[in-house]
Amino acid sequence: MVIKNDLFLKALRGEEVSRPPVWMMRQAGRYLPEFIELKKKYDFFTRCQTPELASEITLQPFHRFPIDAAILFSDILVVPQALGLNFEMKPGVGPWLENPVKSAKDVAKLRDGDVNDELQYVFDAINLTKKGLNDEIPLIGFAGSPWTIFCYAVQGQGSKNFDKAKAFAFSQPEAAHQLLQKITTATIYYLKEKVAQGCNAVQVFDSWGGMLSPKDYQEFSYQYIEQIVNELYTEAPVVIFGKGCWFALEKMSQSNASALGVDWTITPQLARELTGFKKTLQGNFDPSRLFSSPEIIEQMVTEMIDDFGVYKYIANLGHGILPNVPLENAQAFIEAVVNYKSKS
Give me the mean pLDDT over the 234-255 stretch: 98
Residue 173: pLDDT band (50, 70, 90) is: very high
**Angstrom distance (rounded) from CA 205 to CA 55:** 20
Give me the mean pLDDT over the 262-269 stretch: 97
Residue pair 77/87 in contact (Cβ under 8 Å)? The answer is yes
SS3 of residue 76 by DSSP:
coil
Give me the mean pLDDT over the 268-297 stretch: 98
Per-residue model confidence as pLDDT tens digits over 30-73? 999 999 999 999 999 999 999 999 999 999 999 999 999 999 99
Residue 180: pLDDT band (50, 70, 90) is: very high
Residue 295: pLDDT band (50, 70, 90) is: very high
Whether the pLDDT of residue 1 is over 80: the answer is no
Listed in sequence order, the residues at least 6 apart from 145 whose beta carbon sits closer than 8 Å to its beta carbon are 204, 205, 206, 207, 209, 221, 224, 225, 228, 242
**Angstrom distance (rounded) from CA 329 to CA 289:** 9
Query: Residue 290 phi/psi, 5° resolution?
Result: -75, 0
The answer to whether the bond into 116 is cis (omega within 30° of 0) is no
Residues annotated within the binding site for substrate are 26-30, 45, 75, 152, 207, 319
Residues annotated within the binding site are 26-30, 45, 75, 152, 207, 319
Residue 125: pLDDT band (50, 70, 90) is: very high
**Angstrom distance (rounded) from CA 24 to CA 44:** 20
Give me the mean pLDDT over the 218-240 stretch: 98
- Rounded to whole angstroms, what are the CA distances from 69 to 34, 186, 230? 19, 25, 23
- What's residue 111's pLDDT? 98
Matching CATH number, 7-338, of 3.60.140.10, 1.10.287.130, 3.20.20.210, 3.90.550.10: 3.20.20.210
Tally Cβ neighbours within 10 Å of residue 139.
23
- What's residue 344's pLDDT? 59
Q: Give alpha helix (H) positions in 197-326.
A: 214-217, 223-232, 249-252, 268-275, 294-308
Question: The pTM is what?
Answer: 0.97
Residue 342: pLDDT band (50, 70, 90) is: confident
**Angstrom distance (rounded) from CA 271 to CA 308:** 9
Query: Residue 94 phi/psi, 5° resolution?
Result: 95, -150
**Angstrom distance (rounded) from CA 123 to CA 48:** 11
**Angstrom distance (rounded) from CA 220 to CA 167:** 12
Whether the pLDDT of residue 238 is over 70: the answer is yes
Whether the pLDDT of residue 157 is over 90: the answer is yes
**Angstrom distance (rounded) from CA 309 to CA 291:** 25
Q: If you average pLDDT over every residue of the chain, what do you get?
A: 97
SS3 of residue 170 by DSSP:
helix
- What's residue 130's pLDDT? 98
Residue pair 140/72 in contact (Cβ under 8 Å)? The answer is yes
